């Protein structure tokens, strides 16, 4: 295993532990938390949300029902097409996620402040590429589950 692969594996274990601890503290399942993060990034129709989190339409409907009951999402009609319903986060969802992510944002800001401008640029390029590669891998991984 290369040093890069070892570092990635260590980061992944730490990120998974953080996600598990955050979900437990928030009283959310991992898929509920992923769904909230997705609608915070961009409100979307339930079918799109199902694709983003790897659930069937029936599964995502139950998930949305649970999040709506907790006051974390709203079903909103599309102004351009009233037949379409968008899932949007509430301020409670935004606050829940922001509060959970604050310690990590603080730690990352401290880490970035210790880097040179060139190091920050390199890390930014790398993380952007990792996000793109992860999104592609995620789409390939969830495709069989949606059919």
Per-residue pLDDT of the chain in tens (147 residues, 90 and over written 9):
899 889 989 999 999 999 899 999 899 999 999 999 999 999 999 999 998 888 998 999 999 999 999 999 999 988 888 888 899 999 999 999 999 889 999 999 999 999 999 999 999 999 999 989 988 887 777 554 544
- CA distances, 146 to each of 4, 54, 63, 85 (Å): 33, 7, 15, 20
Residue 122 included in any domain: no
Q: Nearest Cα to 30, choosing from 8, 51, 15, 10?
A: 15
3-state helix, strand, coil split of the chain in percent (to 5) is 75, 10, 15
Residue 27 included in any domain: yes
- The token duo for 64 is 């949305």
CATH code where residue 23 lies:
1.10.10.10
Q: Residue 39: which domain range?
A: 3-99
Residue 118 included in any domain: no
- The token duo for 92 is 């409670």
Instruction: Write down the pTM of the prediction.
Output: 0.78
Beta strand segments in the chain, E: 44-45, 73-77, 85-89
- The token duo for 46 is 């339930």
Count: domains in the chain:
1
């Amino acid at each position: 295993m290369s040093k890069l692969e070892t570092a990635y594996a260590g980061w992944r274990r730490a990120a998974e532990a953080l996600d598990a601890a955050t979900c437990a503290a928030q009283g959310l399942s991992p898929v509920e938390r992923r769904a909230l993060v997705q609608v915070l990034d961009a409100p979307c129709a339930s079918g799109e949300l199902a694709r983003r989190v790897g659930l069937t339409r029936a599964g995502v409907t139950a998930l949305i029902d649970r999040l709506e009951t907790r006051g974390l999402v709203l079903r909103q009609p599309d102004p351009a097409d009233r037949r379409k319903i968008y899932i949007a986060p509430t301020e409670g969802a935004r606050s829940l996620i922001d509060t959970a992510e604050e310690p990590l944002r603080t730690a990352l800001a401290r880490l970035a402040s210790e880097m040179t401008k060139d190091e920050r640029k390199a890390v930014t390029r790398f993380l952007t590429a990792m996000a793109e590669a992860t999104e592609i891998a995620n789409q390939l991984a969830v495709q069989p589950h949606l059919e």
